[in-house]
Amino acid sequence: MLHTSSCSARFVPPSRVTDMIILPRVYSGERARLFTLAALLLINSLVQQSNDVMSTSGFVSNLGVEQILWLWLMESILMIFASSTLAFIVDRMKRVLLASILSATLGLTYLGLYVLFVAGAPEWLFYSALAVINDQQLLLMPLLIWAVANDVFSIAESKRLVPLIAVAGVVGGVVGNGLAAGAARWLGEGNPQLLLFNAGLLLTGGGVLLTGMRRVRIEARQSPAGEKRLEALREGLSFLREVPAFRYLTISMIVTGICWTVIDYQLLAQAAQAYPKPADLQAFYGIFKVAVPLLLLPVQGLIAHRLMNRLGFQHIFAILPCVALTSLTLAFAGIGGIVIGAYLFRITMQGIDEPARQAFRGLAPDELRGRIIAFMDGYLLPMGFIIGCGLLGIALLAVTHGGVSVTVGRALYLGLAGLSAAIALWAANRLRLRYVESMFSWRLRRRRRPSALKDLDL
């Protein structure tokens, strides 16, 4: 299923010379930080995407596509638990060190899973465990990488460099999906030797981050060492509640998770119907996954930073709800419609909304920023996934045991997802209306960089 740094919302009309520049400028003092974070994000995306292909195809082969809702539900619950733990420690430790430790830990975990497979563990257990751990990586590693980016880049730098770092993740996704497809062809289906390579990459990535950041001076404040777990969670929630713009973004993210779940499920359901043979279904899913990052490259590399400059935070968050409504409408048009709709949603979500969202959260104070990111990515989207799974389950039960036709059941869950998209659009509009008020909140005045407020569109 599931993800940046602080960004200015000020609109500066570009000059004619600037209009001719396609890529944002990277200055010499920024290159080490940029390349280090881009390298780690590329490694993380490569590993996560290749493991996702292995785990998804293995899970479907052993348990069937109809069980995918249970897997998503379990993954979402574990995401919330992992985010709760991370939210407690992310602002109490040096985030560079924490990200390096997590990268190495994931590498050792995948190495252990490979040993488990070689030892003869049941395949259903292996692929289920791989899927669950891989989904936690999808949440936690980008979260920490973007938290580090918020520490080492100013707001003005983030506006230019966040989309470039995100491009590295897209490239990693392309390579990762290609490696997984190639490994299945060269090594044979069900052979997880790619895990060894991925484990080595993650161990290397942790070292790359420590080495690349050793000369970077990070002055981010940390939360008090004696702060209790409940106090840490309450402080982060208070921030989201008391700053209006963050509060409405919170609402939008939850209902966006519902849309995401329904769109992904409809894609798998239509694909399973159109391609009943397992080999054909796997080929379709592989091609789909490779094409998504390829389409993301021009969006993140050429479009995202311009949209953030031109629209600002006041308007950019309305794009995804509009695209979600379009995607859900296209889902009624069969396999072709849902494929186009899923592409539109994923590209907008990952290429525009995610960088803007991560950049916006860079406005949070240093001592709260890590847990704010953990709350929003680790709580809100999984909550939306859980609600989406529940709505889908109710609709499918109505079809199976309630005498409701398949067409009516599909219209039911697509319609509920459409209502969720409409709520997200309402929340984006409220964010726009309360944006200026939010920028004067005392909660934002603890931002460590004095240039933060002067960069805002007030």
Query: Does residue 156 register a pLDDT over 60?
Result: yes
CA separation, residue 420 to residues 169, 261, 410, 425 (Å): 28, 11, 15, 9
Q: Which of 103-112, 152-161, 357-366, 405-414 has the lowest mean pLDDT?
A: 152-161
Domains and CATH numbers, the chain: 24-217+228-455 (1.20.1250.20)
Within a 10 A sphere around the Cβ of 393, how many other Cβ atoms?
A: 14
- The helix or strand, by DSSP H or E, that contains position 190, with its residue range, turns out to be none
For 227: left if phi > 0, alpha if psi spans -120 to 50, otherwise beta; the answer is beta
Distance of alpha carbon 337 from alpha carbon 267, whole angstroms: 9
For residue 261, the model assigns a pLDDT of 92
pTM for the full predicted model: 0.71
% of the chain residues with pLDDT over 90: 18
What type of residue sits at position 275?
Y
- Helix locations, 8-122, DSSP H: 16-20, 31-63, 68-89, 95-118
For residue 282, the model assigns a pLDDT of 63
pLDDT band at 321 (very low <50, low <70, confident <90, very high): very high
What type of residue sits at position 124?
W
196: nearest Cα among 95, 112, 306: 112
pLDDT per residue as tens digits for the range 39-83: 889 999 899 888 887 777 777 667 766 678 888 888 888 888 877
Query: Does residue 427 register a pLDDT over 90?
Result: yes
Q: Rounded mean pLDDT of 262-270?
A: 89
Q: Rounded mean pLDDT of 411-422?
A: 93
Number of H helices, E strands in the chain: 17, 0
Higher pLDDT, 31 or 342: 342
Three-state DSSP class for residue 413: helix
pLDDT per residue as tens digits for the range 98-145: 888 889 999 999 999 988 888 888 877 888 888 889 988 887 888 788
Find the distance separating the first CA and the last CA of the chain, reported in whole Å: 37
Query: Does residue 168 register a pLDDT over 70?
Result: yes
Which residues, in sequence order, are CB contacts of 325 under 8 Å at separation 6+?
418, 421, 422, 425
Q: Which of 218-232, 280-294, 392-406, 434-448 has the lowest mean pLDDT?
A: 218-232
For residue 455, the model assigns a pLDDT of 43
pLDDT per residue as tens digits for the range 395-407: 888 888 777 888 8
For residue 323, the model assigns a pLDDT of 94
What is the average pLDDT value for the chain, to the nearest integer? Answer: 77
Query: Does residue 317 register a pLDDT over 70?
Result: yes
Distance of alpha carbon 124 from alpha carbon 192, whole angstroms: 13
CA separation, residue 387 to residues 258, 309, 372, 393, 419 (Å): 6, 34, 21, 10, 13
